[in-house]
Every structure is written in C-alpha cells, then in structure tokens.
C-alpha cells in the first residue's frame, strides 16, 4: 500500500487524440488513429454482453477479455473517438484505463544477509529465523499450530506482483494449477508469467500467509494451506483496474476461498463514484468483488499507509501517485462519502490496519471508525516507543524473490513494513479459521474473525508518534503523512476495529 508518492515514472500512459491525415488524389481521408488504449466497457447490470460486443466492433475496438459473469468487457482500440462511438443501447458505461495505473507501494526491503541466515538459531521445532518473527507471537501462531496449522483444501489467492515458485520456503506451497497472470486483464497461466519480475512484494505477502515449516527460513501463519499467485502488478510496478477485475474473477472461478489485496485501485487513493471518469472503474470492481463473494470468497484488503482517516474524507493531498519525478499532485478538496479506497472500502471486504511491536497503531497506518474491521502486525521501524527510533527488526520478516539484472530469480528473506504486511496476517488467520471450521460463508468468516479478535483500546487523547517534529517537514528526509491522529470508538474503534486477529482463538 501507498504511503509516499512513488518517485519513478512507469508506463502509465495518458490518452491522446490521434490526428487524421488528409489524403490527396480523391481518396477519402484516413481514419484518425490514436494510441492503442485499454477500455472497460460495461453492459447493464445483469445483462448479457453481446450487444456491447457488437457496439465495440462497430466502434473499431477489439475485445481482449470478456467477463460475461459480470457484464464487463476489456477492450483495446486505437480509435480516438471510441468512448463516444461505443455508447448506446447495450452499454451502461465506458472508461479508458490509460493513466489509471496505480503505483504499488513496494516499501523498502531490508534483506537478511546470507551469513545471518546461516547463523540463525530460532526454535528448531519451528524455523531457523523464527526468533525474528515477533509478529507470530503477537497473534499466538505457535499455540495455533499445536492445534491446526492449516488444510491443503484451503487456497488463498494472492493478488499482487507474483510469487517466486523457486523459493525454498514457498516451492511446495503454491497451487500452480490455480496461479495466473492477469496483466492487461487477460489471463496467462504459464509459470513464467505469474512469477515476479522487479517486485518482491507478492512473495513477501505469500510467505507471511503460508511459508513452509521445513527447517528453512521462516514460518507462515498457515503453512498447511496453499497460496495461488494471481499477478495483477505489471513489470513497471503498476496495477490497472482491468487486472484487478480479472484477478477477483479468476479467484472466484478457481476454487479460492480467500484473497489478499495489498494495494488500492486507481492512482487517486480515493475512487469517487460521482466522478464520471472514476465511476465505471468503481462499477466494474464492485461487480467483480460481489461476484467473488457469491462464489464463496472472502476478500481481505489493507487499509493504506497514508495515516488517513477514512471515516472523515475531505481532502486527498498525495494523489495521483503516477506522476513524473518532480511533479507534485494537486490536492482534491471537497471529497465526501462517495469517495472510497478500493478495494478496502468495498462492501463485504475485510479491512485491516497495522500495528508495530508495541501493539500501537503504526505511524503510517490509515484508520477510520466503521471502516477498519480488524488490525494485525504490519511493523513500525520509526518508533518502537513514542519518540524513540527503532530498527528494521521492528518490521515484518518474510520471504522475498525477484529477478536480478541478468534475469535470474534471486530468493531470500527480508524485512518490510506497511498495511501490505498486516493484511496477509489477517488473511493467514482467516485461512486457519477455514481449516478448523470448513464451510463458513464469507459473511460468517468475516464475523468470526471479528468475534475472535482481541479488543484493543484507543490511545488516550491525540495519538502522535512524532511529538514536536519540526515544521515544515523536510520531504526528502521524512514522510509527509507523519502527524497526529485521533482514535474514536470504544471496544470497536477507528484504529483497531474489533481488535487484533488471533490465530489461536480461531482454531481452539
């Protein structure tokens, strides 16, 4: 999830109008040609896509993926007037997704050296590096494993940047027959396609959920379950709406009971349903999520890393996050309840905030009364106690894997922090719950997670992990989202929702 605006420019294009050239010699003018652009074309809710597909063809578009289950087509076209010409009977809405690529918040990875791995002396009944996994003790994973460490009948879809299929802690954990790349909104089941390239994010997430207990590296929360790589982040580190739609539907139609979603959809952190440009994205994603729920999938999502009160939206300072180096975003003001963080605020999705080793809200974690459902360890390397610096070991240790400059997969272990890390803790606990109590519906499982969570009280008064930090904050040395926040609510509150997920409570 995002906390700082990404400082690199990826290939997130902006729609440009093509220019038709007049042809001499009495021939008709050549048709205008614009850039090859992706569109989401939505048929009316509950309707078939045949009329929409016919209009696509007439408007000089090509359907590259048809999601008839939800009435959504993924279309490519070079016709600069495509959006106007495709509108009509059989088409409810249409939107170009050019420029809507969201930069995945990778966060810094602090890798564990080969020497440290070799010298690790964790509990041999668990894993060599288990001693650095403070997060597992916080949610009572050892006690849970004594009762149930997960069932291979449970498959978790990791909608992310891919999972390294050669990692020694994950090679036996991946459901390869259910793994896929959804880049471009089109499925590709070849193993190379769903492995990671430049990003270790998805492999880190997968390790937290299901790293094997095999005497190597670390342990996952539910090492007995399977994970499936559902790659939705492209090689430039961007996720587009059509990839997310593809991912939700793939998980639903391939027997997955859970998905983990550590990203937000749209370079604007908040997707506004009353915005003509953003509304079709909301509609398509919401249809995909609702369909997945109807197929028995519980979707878990990270709350975000902007220290933002999602229950009181008025201004978005940090979006969009796909701008060139040196270009600052223009704040969006007068936001309202029609603007949502997707997928975290979609109905039925379990939204997870983050805490550090002390159990207090991580300085970066977004929050919100009535938005956050549960909390889980996400790490907090800035401040172990108020005002005191800490180290990378106060973040989350898990598996990492990505290609090097020569195209070789490099596997290892490393530390990351973010609600991207707290989300998979909740997903792993949910996987244990399904293993111990199979057959729960998504609604029942969501309620069970909350009922078994350990309530966390709000900090007294204003919560400020960086008291008296100098103003203005130097942007090159410190995140702009550092600052005070206020927790509202009682046993269920804006920082922690129903409380800390607990692995032992869901299996005992």
* pLDDT tens digit sequence for 95-108: 999 888 888 887 78
Give the Cα separation of 60 and 297 in Å (integer).
36
Which residue would you say has higher pLDDT here, 276 or 142? 142
- Is 446:271 a contact under the CB 8 Å cutoff? no
Which residue would you say has higher pLDDT here, 302 or 103? 302
For residue 438, which phi and psi values (nearest 5 degrees)?
Answer: -65, 155
- pLDDT class for 261, splitting at 50, 70, 90? very high
The average confidence (pLDDT) of the chain is: 87
pLDDT in tens, 204-214: 999 999 999 99
Residue 303: name the closest of 379, 406, 231, 375 by CA.
375
- Is 387:361 a contact under the CB 8 Å cutoff? no
Q: 357-376 as b/e, with b when 16 or more CB fall inside 10 Å?
A: beebbbbbbbbbbebbbbbb
Q: What pLDDT was estimated at residue 21?
A: 30
pLDDT at 20 over 70: no
Give the Cα separation of 43 and 485 in Å (integer).
42
Give the Cα separation of 336 and 341 in Å (integer).
12
How far from chain centre, in Å, is Cα 310? 17
Give the Cα separation of 51 and 56 in Å (integer).
9
Residue with tokens 């739609």: 245
pLDDT at 5 over 80: no
Q: What pLDDT was estimated at residue 10?
A: 28
Mean pLDDT over 307-321 rounds to 82
Cis before residue 320, ω within 30 degrees of 0? yes
Q: What pLDDT was estimated at residue 467?
A: 63
Mean pLDDT over 96-124 rounds to 81
pLDDT at 117 over 90: no
Q: 252-268 as b/e, with b when 16 or more CB fall inside 10 Å?
A: bebbbbbbbbbbbbbbb
Q: What pLDDT was estimated at residue 391?
A: 58
Q: What is the CA radius of gyration of the chain?
A: 23
pLDDT in tens, 179-193: 999 999 999 999 999
Mean pLDDT over 351-373 rounds to 95
Percent above pLDDT 70 for the chain: 88
- Is 348:340 a contact under the CB 8 Å cutoff? no
- pLDDT class for 390, splitting at 50, 70, 90? very low
Residue with tokens 């270790």: 200
> For residue 168, what are its two tokens?
């020694």
Which residue would you say has higher pLDDT here, 353 or 264? 353
Sequence-ordered list of residues with C-beta below 8 angstroms from that of 252, at least 6 positions apart, any chain? 69, 291, 292, 294, 295, 297
Residue with tokens 């078939």: 48
Q: What pLDDT was estimated at residue 484?
A: 82
Pairing state of beta strands 350-355 and 374-377?
parallel
Residue with tokens 């975000």: 304
Strand partners, 41: 73, 94
Q: What pLDDT was estimated at residue 22?
A: 34
Residue with tokens 């880190």: 204
Residue 145: name the closest of 125, 129, 128, 120 by CA.
125
């Amino acid at each position: 999830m995002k906390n700082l605006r990404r400082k690199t420019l990826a290939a997130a294009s902006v729609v440009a109008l093509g220019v038709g050239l007049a042809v001499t010699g009495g021939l008709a003018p050549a048709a205008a040609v614009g850039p090859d652009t992706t569109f989401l074309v939505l048929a009316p809710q509950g309707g078939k896509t045949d009329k929409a597909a016919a209009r696509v063809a007439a408007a000089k578009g090509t359907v590259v993926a048809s999601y008839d289950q939800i009435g959504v087509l993924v279309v490519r076209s070079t016709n600069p007037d495509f959006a106007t010409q495709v509108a009509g009977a059989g088409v409810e809405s249409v939107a170009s997704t050019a420029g809507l690529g969201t930069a995945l918040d990778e966060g810094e990875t602090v890798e564990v050296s080969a020497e440290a791995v070799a010298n690790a002396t964790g509990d041999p009944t668990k894993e060599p590096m288990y001693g650095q996994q403070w997060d597992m003790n916080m949610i009572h994973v050892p006690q849970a494993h004594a009762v149930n460490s997960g069932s291979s009948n449970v498959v978790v879809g990791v909608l992310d940047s891919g999972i390294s299929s050669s990692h020694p802690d994950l090679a036996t954990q991946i459901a390869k027959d259910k793994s896929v790349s959804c880049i471009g909104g089109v499925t590709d089941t070849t193993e190379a396609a769903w492995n990671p390239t430049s990003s270790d994010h998805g492999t880190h997430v997968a390790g937290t959920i299901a790293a094997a207990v095999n005497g190597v590296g670390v342990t996952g929360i539910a090492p007995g379950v399977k994970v499936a790589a559902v790659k939705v982040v492209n090689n430039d580190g961007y996720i587009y709406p059509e990839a997310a739609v593809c991912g939700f539907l793939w998980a639903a139609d391939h027997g997955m009971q859970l998905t983990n979603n550590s990203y937000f959809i749209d370079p604007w952190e908040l997707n506004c349903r009353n915005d003509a440009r953003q509304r079709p994205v909301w509609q398509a994603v919401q249809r995909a999520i609702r369909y997945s729920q109807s197929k028995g999938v519980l979707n878990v999502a990270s709350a975000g890393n902007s220290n933002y009160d999602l229950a009181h939206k008025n201004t978005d300072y940090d979006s969009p996050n796909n701008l060139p180096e040196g270009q600052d975003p223009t704040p969006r003001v007068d936001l309202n309840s029609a603007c949502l963080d997707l997928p975290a605020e979609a109905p039925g999705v379990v939204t997870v905030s983050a805490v550090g080793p002390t159990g207090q809200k991580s300085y970066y974690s977004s929050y919100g009364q009535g938005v956050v459902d549960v909390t889980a360890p996400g790490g907090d390397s800035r401040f172990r106690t108020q005002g005191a610096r800490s180290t990378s070991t106060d973040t989350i240790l898990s598996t990492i894997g990505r290609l090097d400059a020569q195209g070789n997969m490099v596997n290892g272990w490393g530390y990351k922090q973010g609600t991207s890390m707290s989300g998979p803790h909740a997903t792993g606990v949910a996987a244990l719950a399904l293993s111990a109590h199979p057959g729960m519906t998504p609604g029942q499982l969501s309620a069970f997670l909350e009922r078994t969570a350990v309530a966390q009280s709000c900090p007294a008064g204003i919560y400020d992990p960086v008291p008296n930090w100098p103003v203005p904050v130097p942007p090159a040395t410190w995140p702009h989202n550092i600052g005070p926040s206020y927790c509202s609510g009682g046993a269920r509150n804006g920082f922690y929702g129903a409380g800390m997920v607990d692995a032992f409570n869901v299996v005992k």
